[in-house]
């Protein structure tokens, strides 16, 4: 059997396995590590239905709690951040003023620790998991050290008004290009921490994603790449293309290049399949420029990309909570910090 034929047989096998595992639940995330400290993280948010998103400016000094009852974790935000909310009940994406970015992606295999409300275990609602990290840490290393202590458990529940139980994993990246993935598997926190962990999608668990990607590295991406919407295939494409695009510190080239990668891994709007009910169209995308502290948002229903330059934001404790409403496809374009309006912070979803 020729080498090319062996590659083809193995490729077909892995495509079949991807189909069998139904790995098509929402989202892709990838980090670009360019020259001279050029670090850029992009993600897509894929969802079967509408998932309204707004941008928020959150200053330092905000008092928060974990929203799971009397044993909720309590803290005061050390750093300001710009976040993307989902339904205005959770922080699902964002970057803080120190250049630490985080992304929540769906992971159907997630199983969180047992938690009884108002008992003796400290807890944090999954809607606040990302926000807790952005509020408290400047680097991936700081977050890994702190979360590894497991001083509280992450608590999940159904998305309000639905029968969907929220199962997500968390990715972090920072100005040094460091990366970490946090997953709850069988009730245990699993942390994957390495600069090389630049790509993440959904199922399977991250350890198995790495194994699949190792196989595909033996097949030249210029010859063949998996092209379906399934998570394992998107992982392979993102891993290949993020290293194939130009290595440059020119943001006029680097930012569009990273956008092109995340768009390549997106799912066309309106795609559906009766035999694959979990297939999800891309609803929006973000790109975080860690070095220059600029946060970009791209709504697929709006032809314009908006962005926020952190140098134009007052993150001090005297700063105001501000919101840029985008959930109704409002039309903004370019640097949009001036359009944010003073608004009371939304209530994070938790336990009733």
**Can you give the pLDDT at residue 11?**
45
**Can you give the pLDDT at residue 271?**
75
Helical axes 206-216 vs 231-244, angle rounded to 10°:
60
Phi, psi of 133 (to 5 degrees): -65, -45
Distance CA 183, CA 139 (A): 18
Whole-number Cα distances in Å, 64 to 53, 68, 77, 123, 134: 21, 12, 8, 13, 13
* C-alpha closest to that of 182 among 217, 151, 159, 154: 154
Distance CA 90, CA 53 (A): 10
Whole-number Cα distances in Å, 93 to 5, 102, 104: 42, 6, 6
Q: List the chain pLDDT tens, one digit each, 352 residues.
A: 555 444 444 444 444 444 444 444 568 899 999 999 999 999 999 888 788 999 999 999 999 999 999 999 999 999 999 999 999 999 999 999 999 999 999 988 899 999 999 998 999 999 999 999 999 999 999 999 999 999 999 999 999 888 888 999 999 999 999 999 999 999 999 999 999 999 988 777 777 777 666 655 656 555 556 667 777 778 888 888 899 999 999 999 999 999 999 998 888 888 765 555 456 788 999 999 999 999 999 998 888 999 999 999 999 999 999 999 999 889 999 999 999 999 999 999 999 7
Distance CA 134, CA 216 (A): 34
Whole-number Cα distances in Å, 57 to 29, 322, 336, 347: 22, 5, 12, 15
**Can you give the pLDDT at residue 26?**
61
**Residue 31, helix vs strand vs coil:** strand
Distance CA 129, CA 104 (A): 9
Distance CA 206, CA 192 (A): 8
The strand ranges marked E within the chain are 28-33, 39-47, 53-58, 63-65, 74-76, 81-86, 90-96, 101-106, 123-125, 153-155, 168-173, 179-185, 188-193, 199-200, 281-289, 294-299, 305-309, 322-324, 334-335, 341-342
Instruction: Say if residues 102 and 35 touch (Cβ distance below 8 Å).
Output: no
- Residue 134: cis peptide before it, omega within 30 degrees of 0: no
* C-alpha closest to that of 254 among 28, 35, 27, 29: 35
Whole-number Cα distances in Å, 288 to 41, 175, 233, 329: 5, 10, 23, 21
Eight-state DSSP code of residue 121: S
List the catalytic residues: 27
Instruction: Say if residues 229 and 263 touch (Cβ distance below 8 Å).
Output: no
pTM, entire model: 0.88
Both structure tokens of 256: 């569009």
Distance CA 17, CA 55 (A): 37
H or E stretch including 146? helix 140-148
Q: Which domains does the chain have, with CATH numbers?
A: 3-342 (3.60.60.10)
**Can you give the pLDDT at residue 214?**
63
**Can you give the pLDDT at residue 242?**
93
Query: What residues contact residue 333 under an 8 Å CB cut-off, 6+ apart?
Result: 304, 305, 306
């Amino acid at each position: 059997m020729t080498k090319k034929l062996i590659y083809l047989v193995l490729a077909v096998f892995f495509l079949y396995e991807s189909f069998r595992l139904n790995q098509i639940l929402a989202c892709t995330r990838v980090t670009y590590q360019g020259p001279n400290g050029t670090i850029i993280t992009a993600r897509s948010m894929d969802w079967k239905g509408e998932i309204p998103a707004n941008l928020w400016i959150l200053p330092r000094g905000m008092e928060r709690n974990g929203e799971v009852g009397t044993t909720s974790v309590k803290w005061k935000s050390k750093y300001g951040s710009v976040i993307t909310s989902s339904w205005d009940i959770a922080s699902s994406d964002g970057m803080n003023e120190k250049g630490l970015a985080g992304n929540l992606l769906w992971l159907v295999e997630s199983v969180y620790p047992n938690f009884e409300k108002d008992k003796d275990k400290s807890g944090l609602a999954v809607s606040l998991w990302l926000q807790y990290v952005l509020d408290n840490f400047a680097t991936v290393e700081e977050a890994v050290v702190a979360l590894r202590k497991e001083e509280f458990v992450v608590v999940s529940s159904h998305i309000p008004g639905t029968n969907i139980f929220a199962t997500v994993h968390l990715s972090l990246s920072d100005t040094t290009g460091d990366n970490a993935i946090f997953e709850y598997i069988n009730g245990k926190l699993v942390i994957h921490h390495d600069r090389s962990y630049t790509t993440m999608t959904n199922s399977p668990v991250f350890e198995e994603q790495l194994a699949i990607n190792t196989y595909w590295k033996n097949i030249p991406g210029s010859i063949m790449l998996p092209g379906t919407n399934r998570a394992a295939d998107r992982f392979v494409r993102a891993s290949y293309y993020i290293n194939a695009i130009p290595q440059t510190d020119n943001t006029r080239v680097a930012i569009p290049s990273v956008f092109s990668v995340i768009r390549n891994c997106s799912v066309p709007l309106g795609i559906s399949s009766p035999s694959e009910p979990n297939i999800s169209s891309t609803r929006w995308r973000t790109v975080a420029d860690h070095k220059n502290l600029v946060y970009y948002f791209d709504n697929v229903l709006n032809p314009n990309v908006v962005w926020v330059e952190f140098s134009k934001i007052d993150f001090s404790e005297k700063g105001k909570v501000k919101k840029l409403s985008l959930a109704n496809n409002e039309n903004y374009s370019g640097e949009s910090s001036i359009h944010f309006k003073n608004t009371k912070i939304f209530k994070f979803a938790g336990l009733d």
